[in-house]
């Protein structure tokens, strides 16, 4: 087996995990290059090649597989650099993207403008056609008018087209014909048909996912081709895969054809890694925090499953656009190591969401940054060794960080630099805690029953503080925590998600109709495993359906226990599972009431790597490092013992206050906490007495 690479492009650093021929891992970081993200990928590979003592070409020629997590799609949307896209919809329904689902975050706050539609009205075109709810043709497609509209698009310089007609998920004939006309009249213009990309109920969600996908096709197609071409030139001849929002991977060429699946590419891998590193049975719930340079991403592993959602927003709920696609449920806030701290005109301290990013970065990087960040505060408190950043590859400017904190925070607040740095760290911690509360307490999950798994380069700076604030059972910092998402990518499955609408009720269950739909989904999964998934060591299909109480407004996703319905007992089992999950999710259920199903789902997962992550290569250096002055929160500076993460042996106990450092992260072990390494190489931190 050749080398396997996993690259996660973050806002500040590009993380690389390499699995060697013997399964051992090595970790590397390079600065992200926002103007040319592929350069950051190549730079990280160059560092790995140099560490192995080989040229880049010779090193990459040993490569078998490269998995890439990218923020390129979401960045294109945020910066408005997507393609000029037209939206074709059923006649009489031009306001689907304008009205959306009608919600507002603050219903009576009229100072906040309602978001502009993703595609402006001047590029929205009504097509005379109508499919009825039963799939019959109510109004035939007016091909002459469609051709006229397409000719108009050519004159308007449209670069992509999204087509979403009413009830095309039941009968797609009109969308299919429009696709044929686009290929004939506008050859080379990318387009997306809603019944292919998102065959689900709810018009806005299907429409928005369609136009987002279409708008990303030109830029993501060029990005994927450029990535593969530059990797080939550099010497890599293996398979290039891309991380999806669903927590799997897909071939780069397929990703370019459905780029809406890449919007939450990188963050979806953190819970995959956490689930693999933390042994089952230690807790029903894992809270996964991935702290990078720009954002803090939080997700869950709940009873062995990674929760997903279709309500993924590209910003604040109701003040931005929804993707409409299933995605690992990740909440992201601007609270990373590069988050800028400042005092407003009213004398109130803020941390984030503005970030120093990769360039110029925190003041201590010495790249021109002038505003203090969380990383600068951590350096001022002694949490980071300025001579050992990135394993000694980069020296930090501690005096510059202190000067920036003094000017922008300490003096405006009238406090010392040390207290200002403490306040910055405490406020960043509180932001992270509130993000975790949103996906735990606010969803009926008690964090005191959970383990907090900390990942990301800045993971260790406040993970104990977060765990204590939430009263968690313990905190786990994986040995690959600084590149948690990348380590998850190494063990992720090649996957594809298929769905089909079929409505039936549990009190009049159409067994034949449901099984016919499931057979069709199984056939698509089988085709995937025989084509894209060929060579996989194992494969499995995860079945689910979206169901609700009769005439309820919203559905919930119910895992299925089998791939077919044989008898009434199977239907009763589905009902019972629905009631149980509804009670768990909403704290209410109606066990005697029938349910109705809306959509049936099948996800094929083909294993192309190992089930468990490998271990980092053994470290023969001493576990003890020279002590240094550290100011733990709420204390004065003390001479704290420092330990090398990679060299700590299994079972060795570390009592706080202490620091644990790896080449890529620093873990603060506060007073009263104890830490040891387990058999997976994780640093397991006992938080001491719990409330």
Whether residue 69 is found in the same domain as residue 90: no
- pLDDT tens-digit series, residues 195-215: 999 998 889 999 999 999 999
Residue 437, classed as helix, strand or coil, is: helix
* Residue given tokens 């559905």 in the structure block: 555
**Separation of alpha carbons 330 and 334, rounded Å:** 13
- Max distance between CA atoms of the chain, in angstroms, equals 81
User: For residues 363, 365, 368 and 369, what is the CA-based torsion angle, rounded to 10 degrees?
Assistant: -30
Closest CA relative to residue 462, chosen from 536, 530, 374: 374
Average pLDDT over the chain reads 90
| Cβ-contact 582, 588 below 8 angstroms | yes
Q: Is the peptide bond before 112 cis (omega within 30 degrees of 0)?
A: no
Q: Is 530 buried (19+), middle (13-18) or exposed (0-12) by CB count in 10 A?
A: exposed
Q: Is 520 left (phi over 0), alpha (psi -120 to 50) or beta?
A: alpha
Q: What is the DSSP string of 202-265?
A: -HHHHHHHHHHHHHHHHHHHHHHHHHHHHHHHHT--SEEEEE-TTS-EEEHHHHHHSGGGGTTT
Omega within 30 of 0 (cis) for the link into 353: yes
Give the pLDDT of residue 1.
Answer: 64
**435: DSSP letter:** H
User: Is there a single domain that holds both residue 69 and residue 88?
Assistant: no
**What is residue 15's predicted lDDT score, i.e. its pLDDT?**
87
pLDDT at 355: 82
Beta strands in 419-536 (DSSP E): 450-455, 474-477, 494-505
Which pLDDT belongs to residue 332?
A: 82
51 and 141, same domain (yes or no): no
Residues 44 and 130 in one domain: no
Domain end residue (candidates: 607, 633, 658):
607
Residue 458 and residue 431 in contact, taking contact as beta carbons nearer than 8 Å: no
Contacts of 680 (CB under 8 A, 6+ apart): 277, 278, 279, 478, 479, 615
User: Does residue 587 share a domain with residue 543?
Assistant: yes
Q: Which CA distances in Å does 187 have to 151, 154, 160, 257, 506?
A: 12, 10, 11, 16, 47
* Coil vs helix vs strand at 465: helix
Q: What is the pLDDT of residues 142-182, one digit of tens each?
A: 999 999 999 999 899 999 999 999 999 999 999 999 999 99
How many structural domains comprise the chain?
Answer: 4
3-state DSSP of 367-414: CCCCCCEHHHHHHHCCCCCCCCEHHHCECCCHHHHHHHHHHHHHHHHC
Distance CA 368, CA 361 (A): 8
Tokens representing residue 112 in the block? 């906040």
Question: Is the domain of 501 the same as that of 593?
Answer: yes
Closest CA to 287 of 472, 113, 74: 472
* pLDDT at 484 (0 to 100): 87
pLDDT band at 690 (very low <50, low <70, confident <90, very high): low
315-321 average pLDDT score: 81
Domain shared by 229 and 152, yes or no: no
Place of tokens 């990535």: 227
Higher pLDDT, residue 496 or 443: 496
| pLDDT tens track for 427-486 | 999 999 999 998 888 888 889 989 999 988 888 899 999 999 999 989 999 988 888 888
Which ranges constitute the DSSP H helices of 8-142? 37-52, 56-60, 72-78, 96-99
Q: What is the CATH number of the domain that holds 60?
A: 3.30.420.40
Position 143 in a domain: yes
- pLDDT of residue 10 exceeding 80: no
Answer yes or no: is pLDDT of 238 > 80: yes
Question: Has residue 332 been placed in a domain?
Answer: no
Q: How far apart are CA 327 and CA 312, in angstroms?
A: 7
Average pLDDT over residues 351-364: 83
Q: What is the mean pLDDT of residues 659-683?
A: 90
**185, 101: one domain:** yes
Judge whether residue 691 has pLDDT over 70.
no
The C-alpha atoms of residue 294 and residue 668 are separated, in whole angstroms, by: 20
pLDDT of residue 237: 92
Say whether both 536 and 577 belong to one domain: yes
| 270-301 tens-digit pLDDT | 899 898 888 766 788 999 998 887 788 899 99
Under the banding of pLDDT at 50, 70 and 90, the label for residue 658 is: very high
pLDDT tens digits along 604-645? 999 987 777 778 877 777 888 889 999 998 788 999 999 999
The mean per-residue pLDDT over the stretch 61-90 comes to: 89
> Within a domain: residue 130?
yes
Can you tell me the distance from the alpha carbon of 131 to that of 171, in angstroms, rounded to the nearest whole number? Answer: 7
What token pair was written down for 245? Answer: 């929002």
Q: Is the confidence at residue 391, as pLDDT, over 80? A: no
What's the pLDDT score for residue 281?
Answer: 63
Question: Does residue 533 belong to any structural domain of this protein?
Answer: yes
Among positive and negative, which fits the CA dihedral 505, 511, 513, 516?
positive
CA angle 656–409–664, rounded 5-degree value: 45
- What's the CA gap between 420 and 418, in Å, rounded? 5
Same domain, yes or no, for 59 and 111?
Answer: no
Q: In this structure, are 96 and 183 located in the same domain?
A: yes
Task: Supply the pLDDT for residue 337.
Answer: 84
Q: Inform me whether the pLDDT recorded for 316 exceeds 80.
A: no
Q: Are strands 160-164 and 137-139 parallel, antiparallel or unpaired?
A: unpaired
pLDDT (0 to 100) of residue 80: 84
Phi-psi region of 671 (alpha: psi -120 to 50; beta: other; left: phi over 0): beta
Question: Cα(504)–Cα(502) distance, rounded to whole angstroms?
Answer: 7
Residue range(s) defining the domain that contains residue 180:
84-189
In a domain, 322, yes or no: no
pTM to 2 decimal places: 0.88
β-pair type (239-243, 249-251): antiparallel
Structural domain contains residue 206: no
Judgement on whether residues 63 and 117 belong to the same structural domain of the protein: no
Q: Is residue 22 part of a domain?
A: yes
* pLDDT over 70 at 523, yes or no: yes
Residue 241 lies in a domain: yes
């Amino acid at each position: 087996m050749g080398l396997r690479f996993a690259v996660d492009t973050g806002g500040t650093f590009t993380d690389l995990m390499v699995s060697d021929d013997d399964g051992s891992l090595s970790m590397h970081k390079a600065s992200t290059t926002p103007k040319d993200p592929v350069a950051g990928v190549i730079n990280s590979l160059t560092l790995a090649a140099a560490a192995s003592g080989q040229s880049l070409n010779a090193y990459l020629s040993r490569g078998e597989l490269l998995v890439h997590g990218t923020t390129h799609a979401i960045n294109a949307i945020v910066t408005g650099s997507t393609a000029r896209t037209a939206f074709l919809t059923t006649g009489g329904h031009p306001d689907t993207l304008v009205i959306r689902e009608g919600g507002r975050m603050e219903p009576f706050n009229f100072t906040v403008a309602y978001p502009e539609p993703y595609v402006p009205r001047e590029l929205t075109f009504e097509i005379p056609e109508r499919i009825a709810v039963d799939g019959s043709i109510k109004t035939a497609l007016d091909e002459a008018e469609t051709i006229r509209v397409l000719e108009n698009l050519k004159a308007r310089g449209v670069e992509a087209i999204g087509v979403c007609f009413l009830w095309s998920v039941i009968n797609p004939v009109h969308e299919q014909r429009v696709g044929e006309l686009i290929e004939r009249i506008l050859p080379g213009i990318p387009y997306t048909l809603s019944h292919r990309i998102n065959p689900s109920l709810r018009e806005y969600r299907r429409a928005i996912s369609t136009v987002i996908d279409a708008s990303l096709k030109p830029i993501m197609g060029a990005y994927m081709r450029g990535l593969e071409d530059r990797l080939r030139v550099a010497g890599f001849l293996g398979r290039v895969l891309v991380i999806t929002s669903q927590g799997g991977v897909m071939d780069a060429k397929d990703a370019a054809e459905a780029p809406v699946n890449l919007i939450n590419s990188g963050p979806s891998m953190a819970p995959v890694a956490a689930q693999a590193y933390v042994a089952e049975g230690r807790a029903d719930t894992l809270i996964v925090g991935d702290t990078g340079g720009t954002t803090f991403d939080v997700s869950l592993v709940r009873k062995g499953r990674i929760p997903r959602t279709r309500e993924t927003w590209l910003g604040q709920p109701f003040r931005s656009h929804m993707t409409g696609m299933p995605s690992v449920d990740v909440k992201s806030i601007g609270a990373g190591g590069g988050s800028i701290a400042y005092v407003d005109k009213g004398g109130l301290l803020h941390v984030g969401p503005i970030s120093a990013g990769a360039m110029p970065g925190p003041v201590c990087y010495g790249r021109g940054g002038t505003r203090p960040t969380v990383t600068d505060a951590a350096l001022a408190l002694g949490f980071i060794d300025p001579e050992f950043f990135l394993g000694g590859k980069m020296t930090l400017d501690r005096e510059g960080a202190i000067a920036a904190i003094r000017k922008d925070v300490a003096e405006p607040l009238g406090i010392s630099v040390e207290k200002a740095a403490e306040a910055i760290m405490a406020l960043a911690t509180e932001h992270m805690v509130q993000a975790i509360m949103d996906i735990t307490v606010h969803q009926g999950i008690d964090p005191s029953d959970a383990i907090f798994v900390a990942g990301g380069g800045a993971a260790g700076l406040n993970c104990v503080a977060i765990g204590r604030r939430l009263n968690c059972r313990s905190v786990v910092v994986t040995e690959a925590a600084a590149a948690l998402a990348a380590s998850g990518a190494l063990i992720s499955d090649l996957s594809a998600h298929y769905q089909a609408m079929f409505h039936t009720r549990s009190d009049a269950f159409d067994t034949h109709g449901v099984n016919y739909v499931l057979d069709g989904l199984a056939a698509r999964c089988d085709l995937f495993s025989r084509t894209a998934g060929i060579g996989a060591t194992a494969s499995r299909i995860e079945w689910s359906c979206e169901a609700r109480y009769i005439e309820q407004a919203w559905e919930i996703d119910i895992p299925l226990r089998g791939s077919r319905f044989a008898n009434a007992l199977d239907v009763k089992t589905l009902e019972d599972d629905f009631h149980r999950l509804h009670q768990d999710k909403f704290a209410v259920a109606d066990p005697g009431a029938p349910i109705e199903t809306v959509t049936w789902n099948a996800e094929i997962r083909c294993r192309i790597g190992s089930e468990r992550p490998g271990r980092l290569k053994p470290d023969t250096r001493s576990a003890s490092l020279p002590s240094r002055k550290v100011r733990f929160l709420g204390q004065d500076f003390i001479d704290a013992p420092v330990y090398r993460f990679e060299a700590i042996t299994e079972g060795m106990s570390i009592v706080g206050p202490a620091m644990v450092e790896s080449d890529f992260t620093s873990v603060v072990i506060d007073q009263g906490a104890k830490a040891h390494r387990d058999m997976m190489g994780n640093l397991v931190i006992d938080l001491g007495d719990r409330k």
